[in-house]
């Protein structure tokens, strides 16, 4: 596990975008696993900027996102489909037919997960998986306690996650209670994992996840066992890691 210390959020975003752009340059037809949440927004912004300058070409890239709320239509501005479109897909030359997210409008959870697993398998593996980190150590929407060997599945969000995500909704009642997410097994099968984390409010979980025991109670701790993980974190997020 390689931990790259960034000065602040802007520096973190540039460093993460550099790693993603290197991946695209090295393998133009790569499969990128993408993430939502507020942390990767700066990374996407930087990628768009480099695309606009003519330094990046997304035409052959395929993307597969980690998760999607169950029950939110794509047009809802809080759906992850909307987020990805808004922050990246509509701003670069990616082929929209090569961008995948779980379909939150499929009511039958088993069917939704089966279909998404089939998509992921058909792509033949994720080259680079971008991840954020939840305050309780969740990755994607894999909440504490989830078995490490799961693939795409339907989750009931924890109270903490609902509270953390309500800032994006009109009220807490509007936050969907369930989501479809890639499982830990799927995430762990990516060739390279890039986790971005920022801010003092994440300092405790960073220490616990990357310097504590590997346990399903802290889903991100499993990343300690992956052989190619890069964590790009700002000083605030690393402030409790005396080990560094």
Q: Which of 42, 104, 134, 183 binds ligand GLP (CB under 6 A)?
A: 134
Q: Any idea which residue has 């990343």 for tokens?
A: 223
The distance of closest approach from Cβ of residue 241 to ligand GLP in the complex, given in angstroms and rounded to an integer, is 18
Which residue's CB is nearer to ligand GLP, number 89 or number 219? Answer: 219
* C-alpha R_g of the chain: 17
The yes or no reply on residue 132 touching ligand GLP (CB under 6 A) is: yes
Instruction: Identify the CA nearest to 33 among candidates 153, 159, 189, 198.
Output: 189
Spatial contact of 83 and 132, defined as CB atoms under 8 Å apart: no
The yes or no reply on residue 87 touching ligand GLP (CB under 6 A) is: no
Sheet-wide strand order for 153-156 = 67-69, 178-181, 153-156
Set 65, 87, 127, 136: catalytic member:
136
User: How many residues at the interface with ligand GLP, by CB under 6 A?
Assistant: 14
Cα distance between residue 28 and residue 63, in whole Å:
12
Which residue's CB is nearer to ligand GLP, number 67 or number 208? Answer: 67
The yes or no reply on residue 223 touching ligand GLP (CB under 6 A) is: no
The distance of closest approach from Cβ of residue 109 to ligand GLP in the complex, given in angstroms and rounded to an integer, is 17
Q: Distances in Å between the alpha carbon of 151 and those of 127, 165, 185, 219?
A: 17, 23, 6, 14
Report helix, strand or coil for 57: coil
Max Cα-Cα span within the chain: 46
Binders of ligand GLP among residues 47 to 66 (CB under 6 A) are 66
Which residue's CB is nearer to ligand GLP, number 96 or number 167? Answer: 167
The yes or no reply on residue 13 touching ligand GLP (CB under 6 A) is: no
Query: Binding mask 144-183 vs ligand GLP (x if CB under 6 A, - otherwise)?
Result: -----------------x---x------------------
Give the DSSP H or E segment for 202: none
Q: Which of 3, 20, 32, 35 binds ligand GLP (CB under 6 A)?
A: 35
Q: Is the dihedral of CA 34, 68, 83, 201 positive or negative?
A: negative
Q: Which of 67, 68, 143, 208 binds ligand GLP (CB under 6 A)?
A: 67
The distance of closest approach from Cβ of residue 199 to ligand GLP in the complex, given in angstroms and rounded to an integer, is 8
CA angle 167, 164, 9 (to 5 degrees): 85
The yes or no reply on residue 39 touching ligand GLP (CB under 6 A) is: yes
Cα distance between residue 86 and residue 74, in whole Å:
12
Set 65, 67, 127, 165: catalytic member:
67
Q: Which of 9, 116, 141, 210 binds ligand GLP (CB under 6 A)?
A: 141
Cα distance between residue 143 and residue 130, in whole Å:
17
Which residue numbers are catalytic? 67, 136, 138, 143
């Amino acid at each position: 596990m390689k931990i790259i210390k960034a000065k602040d959020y802007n520096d973190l975003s540039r460093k993460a975008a550099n790693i993603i752009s290197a991946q695209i340059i090295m393998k133009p037809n790569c499969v990128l696993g993408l993430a939502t949440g507020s942390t990767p927004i700066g990374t996407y912004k930087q990628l768009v900027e480099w695309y606009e300058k003519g330094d990046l070409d997304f035409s052959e890239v395929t993307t597969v996102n980690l998760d999607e709320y169950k029950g939110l239509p794509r047009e809802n501005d809080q759906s992850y489909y909307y987020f990805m479109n808004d922050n990246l897909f509509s701003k670069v030359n990616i082929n929209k037919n090569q961008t995948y997210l779980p379909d939150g409008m499929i009511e039958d959870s088993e069917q939704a997960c089966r279909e998404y697993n089939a998509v992921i398998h058909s792509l033949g593996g994720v080259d680079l998986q971008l991840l954020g980190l939840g305050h309780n150590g969740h990755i994607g929407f894999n909440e504490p306690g989830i078995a490490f060997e799961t693939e795409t599945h339907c989750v009931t969000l924890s109270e903490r996650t609902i509270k953390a995500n309500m800032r994006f909704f009109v009220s807490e009642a509007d936050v969907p209670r369930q989501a479809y997410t890639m499982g830990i097994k799927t995430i762990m099968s990516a060739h390279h994992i890039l986790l971005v984390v920022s801010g003092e409010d994440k300092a405790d979980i960073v220490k616990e996840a990357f310097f504590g025991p590997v346990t399903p109670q802290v889903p991100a701790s499993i990343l300690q066992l992956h052989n190619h993980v890069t964590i790009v974190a700002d000083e605030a997020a690393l402030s409790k890691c005396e080990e560094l």
